[in-house]
Structure 1
Amino acid sequence: MTVALMWEARATEGNGDALLTWAKSQPLDAEPERRESFRAPQDRVLIITWWNAPYDADLPELPSPPADLVTRPPHRWRFESA
């Protein structure tokens, strides 16, 4: 089964590039099958990692960024392949 972990955060004004750089540089305790980074208006950053694992597997996730980079804690979602 493929599980996708999504991590999304909104940067403080003008810090979208810094948040994206920070998120892309974060190591994970294991290597996902795939990892992609996205950006959107309002300095939003989205990171998706794909894993070959059961839906409820204990998988490494990105940490919360430094408080001065974000307007709120990151949102996290877990999806399974359909």
Structure 2
Amino acid sequence: MTVALMWEARAVEGRGAELLAWARERARELADGPTGGGVGGPVRRECFRAPQDRVLVITWWDAAFDAELPELPEPAAELVTRAVHRWRFESVESVAASAG
């Protein structure tokens, strides 16, 4: 089964690039480090940015929906305007785009 973990935060105005760099580094650490319960690192990860200094990280895992998986931590309070939002999703369909 594929599980996607989503992590979204909003940086303090003007600090979006700093938050993005911080989140990218934490996502790399998830990929590099071993996890508990026999689960390896994520099979895929993506980082996004959006207006209003928002940062989104999605990691995909080959694991059960309720598996204990490592997640990105909360950034320093002075870097964000609010608590991080987190969601967990189970994949129900995956279709590759056709070339052409």
Shorter-normalised TM range: over 0.9
Superposition deviation, residue 3 in structure 1: 0.1
Q: Which residues of structure 1 form unaligned runs of 5+?
A: none
**How many residue pairs were aligned?**
82
Structure number with the higher strand fraction is 1
Superposition deviation, residue 16 in structure 1: 0.3
What does residue range 1-80 of structure 1 map to in structure 2 within 5 Å?
1-26=1-26, 27-28=29-30, 29-30=33-34, 31-80=41-90
Give every structure 1 segment of 4 or more consecutive aligned residues whose post-TM-superposition deviation is greater than 6 Å.
Answer: none
Could you say which structure has the larger radius of gyration?
2
TM-score (norm 2): 0.80
RMSD across aligned positions (CA): 0.8
**CA–CA separation in structure 1 for the residues paired with 2:18 and 2:9:** 12
**CA–CA separation in structure 2 for the residues paired with 1:68 and 1:81:** 34
Aligned-partner SS, 2:81: coil
- Counting aligned pairs with the same residue, the percent is 70
Q: Which residues of structure 2 form unaligned runs of 5+?
A: 35-40, 93-100
Structure number with the higher helix fraction is 2
